[in-house]
Chains A and B, each alone.
Chain A
Amino acid sequence: MLATIGGSQINAGGLSATYRIAVDVGGTFTDCCIVSTEGVMTIAKAPSTPSDPSIGVLNSLDEASRQLSGSLLDLLSQTETIVHGCTIVTNAIVQRAGARTGLIATKGHEEAIIIGRQNQKLDGLSDIEKTHVTRHHKVDPPIVTRELICGISERMDVEGEIIVPLNEAEVEDAIEDLVTRKEVQAIAVSLLWSFVNPAHEVRVKELIKARYPDIEVSLSSEVMPVLGEHERTLSTVFNAYTKSLTRSYVTTLAAKLRQAGYKHSLLFMGAHGGLLDEDEAKEKSIFWLNAGPIGGTIASRELGDRYTKENIICSDVGGTTFDVSLVIGRELQRETEPVVHQYRFYLPSVSISSIGAGGGSIIWVDEAGIMRVGPRSAGADPGPVCYGRGGTSPTITDADLLLGFINPESFLGGRMNLDLKLAEASLQNMGRQLNMSAEEVATGAVRIVEAQMADLIRQRTIEYGLDPREFALVVYGGSGPVHGCNYSSELGITELYVPEAASVFSAFGLLMGDMLYTFEASNPLRSPLTDRDMEIINATFKQLEDKALHTFANIGVKEDQVIIIRTLRMKYKLQYHLVEVSISQKEYSSADADMIEEALRQRYISLYGPGTVVEGAEFEIISFRVDAVHKPFHVSVRRQEATSGAAAPEPIGSRSVLFTREGRVLSQIYAGDRLHSGHVIMGPAIIERMGDTVVIPPGFVAKVDPYKSIIIRAENK
């Protein structure tokens, strides 16, 4: 299917097509990206509404339906799929805005997440930061303080045998203490060995629910049934902390959309890089953690394919955060123990780093009288001063406006006017504290925030020994194209890619996401593999595949539309680390035992080199995994051949722009919708597009490619 932006591409039939919609709720804006079965793309934005994000979602859809010259009812009733991505869970944890959460743990082991395996102080630090021991500290404040942790007498052992029966009187006391005295709204339950025998956890839940049915309960044996009480407990605590948020949000959103005419179920982007259905999304709020920006990573990978770039730095400047992820050799980078705010927990996920730096980042003055930017954001409400919604703290967007990067009249395609006077007054005000002019404050703040952005990319690349100059840099998010040239040049990167729909790129990527369900079962087998073992292998995979296919069937996806990937997680005897061995065959017989051993051997040698297998070593299969993948549809963008006409487009005007390095320069202004493939624009110039502004400082040259992406190169650098 082909997709192009803009109402002009719509068929005469208006809303006769069927649609697929992606909505991405950011800290400042809610982005919407719609692709029709004919391949026409429509984009829309509305301010996010943090107190009830569904309002912003509906507003953005409403805006989109207007662009399609139809009603919201027409649009939604003709929509097959709505895919949703958001940062609400991440924000709740970072801002400590989740439910007041208590923890019930096995007595004597209450402090596992306080002790933090002794190296919590290092989690999330770069190697260089690890060397600075006097700067280390533990999480402060902890997400669950000591007073909210209750120990209860009960104990399972390694085999799931009950060593100490559940002391229900202690459980009742703990519940009473947490709920009545300490007023918790949610309880996480994480008992030792519960992933082997969940009986005690299940009973604790019954006891809580019997007395307080409204308290949200998360059990470690359900949320993340894996070995390791520290990581499992944190996953469970995060889930408990945010479950009421996701539950009420999914319920509200689904009801509103259905009321508005949508007939199908919603899909949600998960941290693992796949899409989840409504029920899964409600229960496992932890899967929402860090899932917000993944759409952009997926879209960047697809963009890279056009230019045969396999290694990509994906940089997303939103209103609230700056997110960086990498694509290496076309692969999304994954991790199983991500770190959020120094907490290392268990969650198979796509690896993305974030800092609080974006268009909405607040400029402030610290106790020492030094100008600082972020990490606090003005968010959507009140938003930057120039939005005129009562914000008084100047933000990066206000600075961008004053410097002339953004046109107050063409923001969001002219649908929102920005108030330059208000922005200037607030910057002037701040300047008085700093003994600087408004322009000096704006220039300084932009330089500070761009340095922070360059530092995060440096942390993800240079500090891991990766040379950023060997990567294609993709720049997106509402404010990305304003600052991209400057943060890239700090890293010695001389070429950057600004996609056409940069301001809704993460939403666009949601439409390229695969639905992915992963099912895992632990069923240890030891070599030599017998006939009986082969039966177990077949039966285990069959069971997992049935589960996966059933899940897809529930949302109307047929068996022949699902790709099943089977993986054995194996190791040699005595080892701990599991090696993942992909197995293509569907049925195994005893004759295949050697084949499995050989597959492990080959995988091992490819990982660790020849001569590293201990000859004759026994091996073990520890667990079985099935990844079931369904590609709902594929979006590609129509190629536009270079026009034979002028190499440069006609500017629509010019204005004086204050660049942070070169000072004030008269710059040509171009309209994004008049650009064609082959156009070349020399900096200093500004391209005003629907949803964003591309700033091309002096010394940079932009070229429009056949996909209307803008490729910017630094000249003589």
Chain B
Amino acid sequence: MDKLDQVTFEVLKNRVMAVNNEQAIVAARMSGSSVCYDAYDFNTAITTAEGRGLYIGLYNTGIGHPITMAIQSIISSFGTDVHDGDAFLTNDPWYGPVHQQDMTIAAPVFWYDEIVCWGAISIHEPDVGGPVPGSFSVGAKDCFGEAPLIPPLKIVEEGQERRDAIYHCLRNSRTPELLALDIKARLGGLNHLKRRIRELIEKYGKDTFLTFQEQLLEYVSTVVKERLRSLPDGVWSASTYHDHDGTDNILYPVHLVLTKQGEKLTFDFRGSSPQAPGIINCTLMGLHAGISAALFTLLCYELPWSSGGLNDIYEVIVDEGSIVNATFPAGVSGGFPAVIWNVTDLTNYCLGQMLACSARLRDEASSVWAPGYNGTFLSGLDRDQKPFVDVVLDGTACGDGALVHKDGIDSGGSFIVLQVRLSNVELQELNFPKLVLWRRESGETAGPGKFRGGCGLEEAFMPHKAPIPLTDVVCSFGHALPLALGMLGGYPGSVQANVIARNTNIKDILSHGVLPTRLEGITASEVKTLPAKHITELGFNDIHIAVYSGGGGYGDPLERDPRLVRKDLANGLCTTKYAADVYGVIFSDTENFVVDTEATFQRRQEIRDDRLRNATHVGTTADNNSTEQQIGNIQTLTDCLAIGNVAGGKVICCPSCQHIYGPHTSDPRLGAAFRERALIDLSEVNKYATSEDICLREFFCPGCGLLIAVDVVRTNDEVTGSMWLRG
């Protein structure tokens, strides 16, 4: 069939996208889980008959691509044993879903006896079994200590529910009634999808619908390739650590080298840690989920998120048995908020630097966003003495990464969960026996920069009218070290934290008509910072304080417009001390927030001088570069780097003082100076950091002190490069 005309293609492109969204809305409305109905921690997908991804929904981006992989697994598991009216369930990370909690149900859509597409819905379930309430099986060494794996299972056969199969899925859950309802919710969403797709085929014809699918994949692929071609070729690399494996606070290195050539990306994860004896590993499918979350978000703007359209734009190189390509029976219940998130962060970091070096697409570059889920799972008995599991999703309300032209969004939500939203305090207190004492934005969580990262939240909650103390499981990361890396001289966001104050006098305080909004002033027998992953009890007079991290900054904070610092000060997101220490901005009148321009100028010069005084030169190349060399035709690459010509060829240099870092294809860090600083110098929140050998490594121009990069490293880590432009 010929290509569809423009209007028909546009209508179908949007209509099928809308249908995918409708199946999500229907499922959410039928669901019994506030995680799905209210907070939108779920997603949907539509694929071609062969399982190539056409659309993922705009809810939790991270679990979108895994849904299409689950459909592919179901197709290869069941072959021709797929009939009209069938539905299949899986929660097995080696078959698609990123962890056992993301139970996924898929169904084929038939037109007469032909499959014309597949639909699927994945909802993060409050509990699917295993030793730990919430099924993030903290403490497990491998998947035998986690919730049961369910490889593709036919749960509806030609319209008839297989009660034995469904009962099998419900049997291990602490909340089977909820899970039963949520299975119905997915089937309801899929019914709706089938009805709408059939209506569409009745109107436009089957051939038009099938042609449309191919045209859509081609369209997405064409646009993304065109975007890639306009980006510079080169190599970008980054390293980070995943902290805590569920038992021990061990740091597991994850390493990415991204090569970009023309319209092709190669992700090389070799050198990452071997798989860990804990719940944090990801399968090869999980690795793809992590990469695609960043590709969709940064390169597929204003396009349908079709994984099928990205197939030939990237390839992955990875060692089998590593933490990012774990083999059975590795522990995987950490899901996205485990190593997969580090994968997304590193992809974001490398793509961000690449975009920032592009004249055309630099506005699309983003610093790394906060480690987007400080997960807490409260469980016990509710006010009606019934078992409950409260998946506290508030930890996704963290700060967004800074862009090259503006600050990251405060409490804007995390990178991979596009449309997940914070539940109202009232809804949480209606459902679960708890009281939320405070919830506010916390300024020092944000990564400073010319444009700062968005800040995250701090909140505190305690049991309320609970018949028994609550079990409090935390499964988080980014507690030992900041993970939201800054971009091109921007600083990282803070660490996140969970703190328990035990046996407090809170009830006394409340009954006297005082509502505290911080820990200071509350008496406690013990105040303990929890490890990233931990199981504990939350007693009747205990308070859990959670800090959700902020996003990474962009550019040297000394370049920040003092008016923006003033605005933060007025909004209570920064103190005068912080303004002076980090931004070099001095206020002459702190009552009315008047900036002292002269003092600010001096203070900023002092900070730059201080950097230069304590500097170590990175490489030998620094010695060869003299600022006396005449540079011609200087073209700004980013705010802190420029390309110019010297007698010997093109060089990369400082746009401010024209210090030459080296040949333009070399890593500018090799011609930079650096110094190391303690985490606590950056943010008061970093006092909660659960590792002691982490520091910030600032790279700056040896000529003028302008920052070009800030790494988060262990003190003994070697200095590494991160960017080599080509051509």
Which residues of A come within 8 Å of B, CB atoms?
106-112, 114-119, 121-122, 127-138, 146-147, 151, 153-155, 157-158, 163-167, 192-193, 227-231, 462-467, 492, 572-577, 607-614, 617
A573 and B409 CA atoms in complex are apart in Å by 37
- Asked if B363 lies at the interface with its beta carbon under 8 angstroms from chain A, I say yes
- Asked if B721 lies at the interface with its beta carbon under 8 angstroms from chain A, I say no
**Is there an interface contact between B31 and A575, defined as CB atoms closer than 8 Å?**
yes
**Is there an interface contact between B412 and A136, defined as CB atoms closer than 8 Å?**
yes
Kindly identify which residue among B177, B187, B570, B571 contacts A574, using a CB–CB cutoff of 8 Å.
B177
**Is there an interface contact between A167 and B513, defined as CB atoms closer than 8 Å?**
yes
**Is there an interface contact between B438 and A108, defined as CB atoms closer than 8 Å?**
yes
**Is there an interface contact between B7 and A151, defined as CB atoms closer than 8 Å?**
no
A109 and B438 in contact, given A463-B14, A575-B181, A609-B192 (Cβ under 8 angstroms): yes
Kindly identify which residue among A122, A129, A193, A611 contacts B191, using a CB–CB cutoff of 8 Å.
A611
- Asked if B441 lies at the interface with its beta carbon under 8 angstroms from chain A, I say yes
Kindly identify which residue among B10, B30, B424, B430 contacts A612, using a CB–CB cutoff of 8 Å.
B30
**Is there an interface contact between A163 and B510, defined as CB atoms closer than 8 Å?**
yes
**Is there an interface contact between B302 and A612, defined as CB atoms closer than 8 Å?**
no
**Is there an interface contact between A164 and B511, defined as CB atoms closer than 8 Å?**
yes
A137 and B409 in contact, given A166-B513, A611-B187 (Cβ under 8 angstroms): yes
Kindly identify which residue among B16, B297, B420, B426 contacts A229, using a CB–CB cutoff of 8 Å.
B426
Kindly identify which residue among B19, B34, B517 contacts A107, using a CB–CB cutoff of 8 Å.
B517
**Is there an interface contact between B187 and A612, defined as CB atoms closer than 8 Å?**
yes
Q: Which residue of B lies closest to A153 (CB)?
A: B515
Q: Which residue of B lies closest to A147 (CB)?
A: B570
Query: Which residues of A are found within 8 Å of B426, using beta-carbon distances?
Result: 158, 192-193, 227-229
| Closest-CB distance, A189 to chain B (whole angstroms) | 16
| Closest-CB distance, A664 to chain B (whole angstroms) | 30
Query: Which residues of B are found within 8 Å of A465, using beta-carbon distances?
Result: 11, 14-19
Kindly identify which residue among B28, B424, B438 contacts A228, using a CB–CB cutoff of 8 Å.
B424
**Contacts A/B (CB < 8 Å), 28 sampled:** A109-B438, A110-B440, A112-B424, A115-B441, A119-B413, A121-B409, A127-B58, A131-B303, A132-B301, A133-B366, A133-B418, A134-B364, A134-B366, A136-B412, A138-B409, A153-B515, A155-B435, A155-B515, A157-B465, A227-B426, A228-B426, A229-B425, A229-B426, A465-B15, A577-B37, A608-B192, A612-B191, A614-B181
- Asked if B342 lies at the interface with its beta carbon under 8 angstroms from chain A, I say no
Query: Which residues of B are found within 8 Å of A151, using beta-carbon distances?
Result: 515, 517
Interface 0/1 of B234-256, CB less than 8 Å to A: 00000000000000000000000
Q: In chain B, residues 12-30, which have Cβ atoms closer than 8 Å to a Cβ of chain A?
A: 14-19, 21, 26, 28-30
- Count of CB-CB pairs between chains A and B under 8 Å: 216
Query: Which residues of A are found within 8 Å of B227, using beta-carbon distances?
Result: none
- Asked if B429 lies at the interface with its beta carbon under 8 angstroms from chain A, I say yes
Query: Which residues of B are found within 8 Å of A163, using beta-carbon distances?
Result: 435, 464, 510
Interface 0/1 of B75-117, CB less than 8 Å to A: 0000000000000000000000000000000000000000000
Kindly identify which residue among B31, B34, B305, B412 contacts A121, using a CB–CB cutoff of 8 Å.
B412
A108 and B409 in contact, given A130-B418, A157-B464 (Cβ under 8 angstroms): no
| Closest-CB distance, B246 to chain A (whole angstroms) | 27
Interface size, chain B (Cβ < 8 Å)? 88
Of listed B21, B161, B440, B515, residue having the most chain A CB within 10 A: B515
**Is there an interface contact between B515 and A154, defined as CB atoms closer than 8 Å?**
yes
**Is there an interface contact between A118 and B429, defined as CB atoms closer than 8 Å?**
no
Query: Which residues of A are found within 8 Å of B430, using beta-carbon distances?
Result: 158, 227
CB-based closest 6 A-B pairs? A465-B15, A108-B438, A609-B191, A465-B18, A574-B32, A608-B188
**Is there an interface contact between A138 and B410, defined as CB atoms closer than 8 Å?**
yes
A110 and B418 CA atoms in complex are apart in Å by 25
Query: Which residues of A are found within 8 Å of B303, using beta-carbon distances?
Result: 131
A627 and B419 CA atoms in complex are apart in Å by 34
| Closest-CB distance, A276 to chain B (whole angstroms) | 28
Q: In chain B, residues 670-685, which have Cβ atoms closer than 8 Å to a Cβ of chain A?
A: none
A164 and B571 in contact, given A131-B58, A609-B191 (Cβ under 8 angstroms): no
**Is there an interface contact between B30 and A575, defined as CB atoms closer than 8 Å?**
yes
A114 and B296 CA atoms in complex are apart in Å by 28
Query: Which residues of B are found within 8 Å of A115, using beta-carbon distances?
Result: 397, 410-411, 422, 439-441, 457
Query: Which residues of A are found within 8 Å of B425, using beta-carbon distances?
Result: 109, 112, 192, 229
| Closest-CB distance, A127 to chain B (whole angstroms) | 6
- Asked if B396 lies at the interface with its beta carbon under 8 angstroms from chain A, I say yes
- Asked if B603 lies at the interface with its beta carbon under 8 angstroms from chain A, I say no
| Closest-CB distance, A605 to chain B (whole angstroms) | 10
**Is there an interface contact between A611 and B159, defined as CB atoms closer than 8 Å?**
yes
**Is there an interface contact between A462 and B457, defined as CB atoms closer than 8 Å?**
no
Kindly identify which residue among B161, B297, B400, B514 contacts A611, using a CB–CB cutoff of 8 Å.
B161
A466 and B184 CA atoms in complex are apart in Å by 28
- Asked if B195 lies at the interface with its beta carbon under 8 angstroms from chain A, I say yes
A48 and B176 CA atoms in complex are apart in Å by 62
A526 and B572 CA atoms in complex are apart in Å by 47
**Is there an interface contact between A164 and B302, defined as CB atoms closer than 8 Å?**
no
| Closest-CB distance, A480 to chain B (whole angstroms) | 23
A106 and B515 in contact, given A157-B429, A465-B11, A612-B30 (Cβ under 8 angstroms): yes
A612 and B37 in contact, given A131-B302, A138-B409 (Cβ under 8 angstroms): no
| Closest-CB distance, A90 to chain B (whole angstroms) | 25
**Is there an interface contact between B514 and A167, defined as CB atoms closer than 8 Å?**
yes
Query: Which residues of A are found within 8 Å of B26, using beta-carbon distances?
Result: 607-608
**Is there an interface contact between B427 and A228, defined as CB atoms closer than 8 Å?**
yes
- Asked if B178 lies at the interface with its beta carbon under 8 angstroms from chain A, I say yes
Query: Which residues of A are found within 8 Å of B411, using beta-carbon distances?
Result: 115-116, 118
Kindly identify which residue among B32, B437, B511 contacts A575, using a CB–CB cutoff of 8 Å.
B32
Give me 17 other A-B pairs in contact (C-beta within 8 A), A107-B438, A127-B58 excluded: A111-B441, A115-B410, A115-B439, A118-B422, A128-B302, A132-B301, A133-B297, A133-B366, A138-B410, A153-B514, A155-B510, A164-B510, A164-B515, A165-B511, A464-B18, A465-B11, A465-B17
